[in-house]
Amino acid sequence: MNYRHAFHAGNFADCMKHALLVWLLRALTRKEAPFRVLDTHAGIGRYDLASDEAQRTGEWQSGIGRLTAITEGPLAEYLAVVRADGGYPGSPALAAAMLRPQDRLALVELHEADHASLRALFRRDARVAVHRRDAFEAVRALTPFPEKRGLVLMDPPFEQPGEYERLAAAIAEVSRRARGLVQAAWYPIKGRAPVRAFHTALAESGVRDIQAAELHLREPLDAARLNGCGLIVVNAPYGFEAAAPPILQALRDALSWEAGAGWALTRIADE
């Protein structure tokens, strides 16, 4: 509950998560039927990269700061949404920018001050509901969706022990309650062992159609560093397996030149 994303907004992990999120949201708009997005760790929704918090870490400079000049290729749509925002959009602002009038967005944030900022940001948008509650409790309370289609985004801070286990359980819970929903769940890559155990737990959970997209800045040899990140995608819309590799390659080319940098798209469970 003490985690504040303002210190990390716009870093390489945000760029990876958000570039893939934009693709997933665009895919949902292919059908006219309405959809809903549930963001379980919403933060404040939009960030000022000139703020004291962002300037103190400077993480955005090796993330979105390296991408701003790109106007073509696999990252073009994501970066166009970022430029149109006027600040640095977190996942709530990205999702809101891509919603149509018939779509809905549910945002969950437990931190009191961040929840207040989030409510203020979306107070005039009738499509958006903001909740102050535990993220994993919200997964049970707010699914299934009335619209019967949509996306659940889970992005825990991974500051406490057991986050991988809680995330795997939440993915399984959503699948039980609303099997057809798209799920996108972010995770850090520090060492290999926790990620391997996480993937194994998902493979054994009974959830179907699971893929893991990963971006590696370097070999994960120092478990004290954030060496990469991944996004679990359940029920990916048609075309994801073809679209994700160019996005990941473009991010790798722009964000890292270290030995061992790369990306992977792995199927954990068949459809």
Residues carrying an active site annotation: 155
Residue 242 host element (H or E)? helix 240-255
Cβ distance 9 to 88 under 8 Å?
Answer: yes
* Cross-strand partners of 104: 36
3-state secondary structure of 194: helix
Token pair of 56 as six digits:
């103190």
The CA–CA distances, whole Å, from 123 to 5, 38, 61, 94 equal 21, 17, 31, 16
DSSP 8-state class, residue 236: P
Q: Residue 153 has which token pair?
A: 């985004």
10 Å Cβ neighbour count for 258? 11
Query: Is the CB of residue 213 less than 8 Å from the CB of residue 158?
Result: no
- Report yes or no: 174 and 205 within 8 Å, Cβ to Cβ: no
Determine the Cα–Cα distance for residues 256 and 239; give it in Å rounded to an integer. 26
